[in-house]
Amino acid sequence: MKKKKIDLENYIVEDRPSIKEIDKLKLYTKSGGRCAICNKYLIDLGYGVNIGEMAHIVGWTTKEKSPRGVSALPLDKRNIEENLILLCAEHHKIIDDKKALEEYTVERLISHKKEHESRIHHLTNLHKDSDSVVLRMLGNIRGIAVELSQEKARQAVYNIDKKFARFIDSFDKQSIEINLSVLPEPGIQWDSYWQMGSRIIDKELKLYEQGINSGSIRHLSVFAFSRIPLLIYLGYKIGDKVPVTIYQKQRGDGESWSWADNEDIQFEIETIQTKASDDSVLILNVSGSIDLDKLPKNLTSNSSIYVIKPVDTIPNRDIFNSKKTYENFVKMYHYFLSSLEIEQKSCKNIHLFSATPISAGIACGRGLMRNVHPALVIYDFAETEYLSTITINSYETE
């Protein structure tokens, strides 16, 4: 049946052909029932009402008042699925408004359609093992708070690993969530701060342990923003029971958690001094440089001292823009641990002073083999001096 459209301004009655059922079916299927621009689900499950709207990319008529209608595309090609895009009511109104026509061009709408339908096809084609459970640990660092929405986490997991982000529900939570924003700044409550943070992590990771034991977690995606000692502790507690992807918070307006480029920075180990001792000092000069003179003198005077630093690059906060660079750091850190087993057999404690991006902190904890490598004593800067925070992999603390 054909629909009539009355052009009141020109007093012309036009015949508007109906969209064929096969084209409707193809459009809704390829779009996953979601708006191609905002991803809104267009089936109201409460009432079972279809709230989606099929919009024309090239207008259905050649008249000037038809949005994007002035085109060489034949009229008999304008009502088929290839020229339709599934939208919510809000975005349908926006793209056809004359004030937005310069922004929502034919080319842009085609791009939205292709990208959205390609993503839907990929996600619905994933096998059961192609999902990843999301773990979020967010807190404050010197008054700076970071939030991470489900949508940003979902996009990052898809862009990096081509996996479907799965959020485990637990009461009112939307994933494995570790909220460290409740912690005050360490201040004079230095020891209590780290103890409390560790206990929060232990409590919230019970859901992770349950998922590991039941086999429901086969891959983990970790998004974390906190002080380095707590990140290292998180990595240690996660371990290597399942494959893990660690995401790096990137600086800038986009607030991205994806890798920005393919820069390939290498790392090296510099030996400052070697001593036959139970203690070794490891300095990580990656995102910044730690002044050796500010470290505890009673420790540095009697310990072997090593530094991991980038090759031919000044340590800086943006050094982990690249996944390759991150992987190079992890390899060098693992190499250091292996070398220490051979060169310093008497070593019982590694005293870690870290100026690293957040992803490196988590990797340092994960790279420690339980009861094989020495204990890791983690330090942080407390206004005027470095103080110990958390010790992991120690027989006394396990």
Question: Could you report the per-residue pLDDT of 199-258, keeping only the tens digit for each?
Answer: 999 999 998 998 899 888 899 999 999 999 999 999 999 999 899 999 998 876 556 887
* Residue 158 shares a structural domain with residue 61: no
* Residue 36 shares a structural domain with residue 105: yes
- The domain that holds 218 is classified in CATH as 3.40.50
* Residue 136 shares a structural domain with residue 152: yes
For residue range 96-111, what is the model confidence (pLDDT) as tens digits? 998 888 899 999 999 9
Cα separation, 59 vs 73, in Å, equals: 10
Residue 262 domain flag: no
pTM confidence score: 0.71
How many domains does the chain divide into? 3
Domain that holds residue 274: 267-392
For residue range 321-355, what is the model confidence (pLDDT) as tens digits? 899 999 999 999 999 999 998 888 889 999 999 99
How far the first Cα of the chain sits from its last, in Å, is: 75
Non-local (6+) Cβ contacts of 238 within 8 A are: 135, 205, 208, 220, 222, 244, 362, 365, 366
Cα separation, 232 vs 363, in Å, equals: 7
* Residue 189 shares a structural domain with residue 103: no
Residue 42 domain flag: yes
Provide mean pLDDT across the span 191-200. Answer: 94
Cα separation, 65 vs 67, in Å, equals: 6
* Residue 319 shares a structural domain with residue 215: no
Cα separation, 293 vs 42, in Å, equals: 62
Residue 255 domain flag: no
For residue range 16-48, what is the model confidence (pLDDT) as tens digits? 778 999 999 999 999 999 999 999 888 876 677
Residue 260 domain flag: no
CA 350 centroid distance within chain: 30
CA 204 centroid distance within chain: 19
In three-state secondary structure terms, 98 is helix
Per the prediction, the chain carries an average pLDDT of: 87
- Per-residue burial over 268-280, b if 16 or more Cβ lie within 10 Å, else e, is eeeeeeeeebebb
Cα separation, 124 vs 120, in Å, equals: 6
Residue 258 domain flag: no
Mind giving me the DSSP string for 27-64?
HHHHHTTB-TTT--B-EETTTTEE--EEEESS-SS-ST
| Residue among 257, 261, 315 nearest 284 (CA) | 315
pLDDT band at 2 (very low <50, low <70, confident <90, very high): very low
Residue 7 domain flag: yes
Asked if pLDDT for residue 6 goes beyond 80, the answer is no
* Residue 45 shares a structural domain with residue 101: yes
Residue 63 domain flag: yes
The predicted pLDDT at position 143 comes to 58
* Residue 213 shares a structural domain with residue 272: no
Domain final residue pick, 60, 93, 124: 124
Residue 397 domain flag: no
* Residue 81 shares a structural domain with residue 148: no
Cα separation, 351 vs 357, in Å, equals: 18
Domain final residue pick, 93, 124, 155: 124
* Residue 241 shares a structural domain with residue 271: no
* Residue 237 shares a structural domain with residue 275: no
Domain final residue pick, 124, 146, 176: 124
Beta partners for residue 86, in sequence order: 54
The predicted pLDDT at position 396 comes to 58
* Residue 133 shares a structural domain with residue 243: yes
* Residue 113 shares a structural domain with residue 142: no
Provide mean pLDDT across the span 78-101. Answer: 92
CB half-sphere exposure, 393, CA atoms < 13 A: 26
